[in-house]
Amino acid sequence: MSKTKSKILLSLFLITILVSSCCFATDVAPVTENAITNTVTTDDQSNVAATDEQDLVNTDFYAAEDSVTISNVVDGNAFVVAKEVTVTGEIGGDLFVVAEKLNIDGGYVYSSIFACAEEITINGVIYDLYAVCNTLNLGTNGFIYRDMRVAGSSVNMNGKVRRDAYISSENISFATDAGTIVYGNLEYSSDEAEFNAPEGVIAGTTTYTAENASAKEPASIGNTIISYVLDLLRTLILTFVIVVVLLWLTPNFVEKVGKMGVAKSFVSLGIGFATPIAFIFAGIILILSKIGISIFIPSIFLFALLGFIGTSIASIFFGKLFTKLFKMEGKVKFVLFTLASALIIWAITIIPFIGGFLGFLVWLFGIGTIIVNIFCKEKIKEDKKEIKE
């Protein structure tokens, strides 16, 4: 059972992401009162329940089309990649969007919007906004219930922000006849000159930061050292957490990583190189297939997870290598050697000129190591005993 634990866990993870709570749709049918009330009248309650399920999107929603309109109720998160996205209905969770145009037209997003778009227009109600765009238009009917964080070339504020606004933009404009627009504080940065917002528009304080100020004033030695120390601490904490979790959940996987020989290590590095390339080509093929998109979008998060832990997995390999080299076995010593390996890898990555490339190689090696030790079957010779009755 322990030999297959890592494979079982990964399989459950894939099944959970790809199957259990997702709904892919290319055409979103609007939900109207007639659709709900004019259901088939029958004594068979199961038929009524089936009709309701067809009318409602009660799971996460995935879509990738030229134009996507969400006009019904999505009781979950929405993940959309499209040229133009329009929301006139309700989304119970978060909205993740990559599009040329995003338009919230009377729609309601009960949680956050994470958007990357050329143009964003909001004339609806949302809770939080995180956006990178060229132009953001918060219309007169737009209402952000909590905070907004936006980076864009042009930001036009005509609606309301209930709490704080954080804006990085070359051009920021506020309506002069809309009363209070930002009910909390405004923090903005720009490489242009500081501007004065109309009186009464900002209820809290306004803080301005010149974007090119850091370029003009080099960081002090103390600040540089602190940034390096904090980065190292983050690396060590992440590695420690991953090692402890793997030792607890998949000790067999850790052992397999530690037993990798020279040949298998080169194979891992090669697979690490091939994985991003294969992911890109597979993504193109899946995007061209309507059914494949429902698999590709969650697989992005899986690949991001592999990339997130790749360097830590490489540290585990070198940690096991050091325990064998110094003949110091034991879980505690293994964890310490793994953390020491993570420290060495981190130190290599900050070497000028070549550090970034070497760190990239280690990262690819870590990704390849994960794939090799989970999906590649080892040839193990076992003595088979025949039981004769």
Tell me the backbone φ, ψ of residue 155, rounded to 5 degrees.
-130, 120
88 within 8 A of 106, measured Cβ to Cβ: yes
Q: Let me know whether 109 and 134 are in one domain.
A: yes
Distance CA 88, CA 105 (A): 5
Q: Which of 216, 249, 272 is the last residue of a domain?
A: 216
How many DSSP H helices and E strands does the chain contain? 10, 12
Tell me, yes or no, whether 34 and 159 share the same domain. yes
Domain final position from 216, 243, 266: 216
Based on the fold, state whether residues 105 and 157 are members of the same structural domain: yes
What is the number of structural domains in the chain? 2
User: Residue 294 in contact with residue 62, Cβ under 8 Å?
Assistant: yes
- Can you give the pLDDT of all 389 residues of the chain as single tens digits? 444 444 444 444 444 444 334 444 444 444 333 333 333 333 333 333 332 334 466 788 888 788 999 988 998 888 888 889 999 999 999 998 888 899 999 999 999 999 888 999 999 999 999 998 999 999 999 999 999 999 888 999 999 999 999 998 888 888 888 788 999 999 988 776 667 777 888 888 888 887 654 444 555 777 788 888 888 898 999 899 988 888 888 888 888 888 887 777 888 888 888 888 888 887 777 766 656 666 766 777 777 888 888 889 999 999 888 888 888 878 888 899 999 999 999 999 999 889 889 989 999 998 888 888 887 655 433 333 443 44
Look up residue 104 and give its two tokens: 């919230």
- pTM of full prediction above 0.85: no
Q: Are residues 196 and 339 in the same domain?
A: no
Spatial separation of the C-alpha atoms in residues 366 and 309, rounded to whole Å: 8
Radius of gyration (Cα) for the chain, nearest Å?
Answer: 26
Do 144 and 159 reside in the same domain of the chain?
A: yes
Neighbours of 61 (CB within 10 A): 24
Domain shared by 227 and 363, yes or no:
yes
Domain that holds residue 271: 221-375
Sign of CA dihedral 94, 95, 98, 104: negative
Same domain membership, residue 243 and residue 206: no
Contact 206, 181 (CB under 8 A): no
Classify residue 66: in a domain, yes or no: yes
